[in-house]
Amino acid sequence: MNLHLHHIMKLTVQRSYKGEAYTIGALYIDGVYFCDTLEDCVRDMPREAKVPGQTAIPSGTYPVIVNRSPRFGRDLPRLQNVPGFDGVLIHRGNTAADTAGCILVGENKVKGKVINSTGYELSLTTTIQSAIKRGETVTITIE
């Protein structure tokens, strides 16, 4: 058995509710539920035009890195190679107004919102950084 297999930490967002203004989902780390997510509304591109700052990213699998966000001034998970989107981050926030195509983490205890999000952001960022330090690849799949 090859113990030097390159391990991949797999993040998965399962979108469960697609509203007109926002999308609710759940984030899993290697198949284990981590928290709820909130994104902008999903548009059926390219048939529907992307509305800058108000459109969720296309479903698919993307590499994830952690680096310093110039906008937020702290280290955050960043999705790579998202078609038509730059600077897609996973970060704290509460409503679709806070997202601009990003994925917000927290608890969906209030309709249309995630709350208690700061702890989830910090925990997720640390978890991803640890995996990268171990030499693992981190991906996120949006379903």
CATH number of the domain at 131, please.
2.40.440
* Torsion angle of the four alpha carbons 72, 75, 79, 85, in this order, in degrees rounded to the nearest 10: 20
Q: Is residue 3 part of a domain?
A: no
Q: Is residue 2 part of a domain?
A: no
Q: Structural domain tally of the chain?
A: 1
Which residue range(s) make up the domain with 98? 8-142
- The per-residue pLDDT for 105 is 97
CA distance 21 to 34: 24
Q: Is residue 1 part of a domain?
A: no
Token pair recorded at residue 82: 């998202």
Q: Is residue 128 part of a domain?
A: yes
CA distance 39 to 25: 8
pLDDT tens digits for range 11-68: 999 999 998 899 999 999 999 999 999 999 988 767 788 888 888 999 999 999 999 9
Of 122, 92, 126, 127, residue with least CA distance to 10: 127
Q: Is the pLDDT of residue 6 over 80?
A: no
- The per-residue pLDDT for 71 is 87
pLDDT higher for 76 or 19? 76
Q: Is residue 26 part of a domain?
A: yes
What value does the mean pLDDT take over residues 74-84?
95
Q: What predicted TM-score, i.e. pTM, was given to this entire model?
A: 0.92
Q: Is residue 102 part of a domain?
A: yes
CA 67 → CA 28, 49, 93, distances in Å?
Answer: 21, 30, 18
